[in-house]
A = this chain, B = another copy of it.
Amino acid sequence: MTYISFPTDRKFDFAAIGRLCIDLNANEINRPMEQTMTFTKYVGGSPANIAIGMSRLGLKTAFIGKIADDQMGRFIEGYLQDKGIDTENVITDKTGAVTGLAFTEIKSPTECSILMYRDNVADLKLSPLEVNEELIAASKMLLISGTALAASPSREAVFLAVDYARKHGTVVAFDIDYRPYTWKSAEETATYYNLAAEKSDIIIGTREEFDSMERFENNPKRIDRYTADKWLNHSASIVIIKHGKEGSIAYTKDGSEHRAKSYPAKVIKTFGAGDSYAAGFLYGVFSGWTIEKSMEYGSAAACIVISSHSCSDAMPTVAQVEGYIERCERGEITAG
């Protein structure tokens, strides 16, 4: 059964709005960051990673965002262009804002953390007047990322982008991507996450991220079905709640639940798993696959990324995902 139908004849399959930043990944890993002496630079940010993933999977992709007027910003723009992503709506800040940074610490494959630089970042300076209505009208899907709701004027830019999408029949996918930095209070977070989720067709997040949206709800036992029904009763057709190793569950408009198997991986670090999962899953939705098959595809894409040093650079092509699935099915890959 298909839960999402897309408009046809559009220039872009996929447009993402939100955070563009720099990951500085530890080169010497399996130790505390204090002992890491060199770092490698990558493009980062959840919507950036997903957009790169979609483009790598062959979809026509565009980005709506804002970059600093410095070497880091120019590197980001150049990288997106290299990956075939349209950057006409990537605006250069002129206020002296900086590029957000994320230094990664990999103490072990399961002990990963991030040191964020999010003060005065360019991505949160995107203003409503800089959002290109035509671009959204020319896209089949708009992906919004929760981090872009964390501050004004980026928050207003996202709400306007969503209104444009609904006006033009563009499917709205919402990746919650909750990061406590920048938000002033748990109540502020819940308020704007809810206003965005009400207008979204697809919502993807971890159980903890959905918790952050239920600050004013009466769901103390954190029941997934309660959570999903709230949004399915608004605009959503698909709600995916991720439970880490225990797997993800997709709830759909028809009242059914969907689970999919996951694949083994030789994990280097956990960063990027969610972004590659989202890219793989949405690729399945675009392809008209079942929810289960889409989820499996997302899972395989995630395995590839967490077996690599980077996030954006490791986003797989169709051939890579299919190769990974085949090797798993032949028993050539085991967890480690």
Contact = CB atoms under 8 A, between A and B. Distances in A.
Interface of A: 24, 27, 32-34, 36-41, 70-72, 74-75, 78, 98, 101, 103, 105, 115, 117, 119-120, 127-129, 152-153, 155-156, 159-160, 163, 184-185, 187-188, 190-192, 194-195, 215-216
Given A119-B120, A163-B194, A195-B195, 15 more contacts: A33-B71, A33-B75, A37-B41, A39-B41, A71-B105, A71-B115, A98-B117, A101-B101, A117-B117, A119-B119, A128-B187, A128-B215, A129-B187, A159-B191, A159-B195
A109 to B, nearest CB: 19
Copies held by the complex: 4
Nearest to A184: B152
Given A37-B41, A38-B27, A117-B101, A127 B71 contact: no
Contacts of A39: 24, 38-39, 41
15 contacts: A24-B24, A24-B39, A27-B38, A34-B78, A38-B39, A71-B105, A71-B115, A101-B117, A128-B190, A128-B215, A152-B184, A153-B185, A153-B188, A156-B188, A159-B195
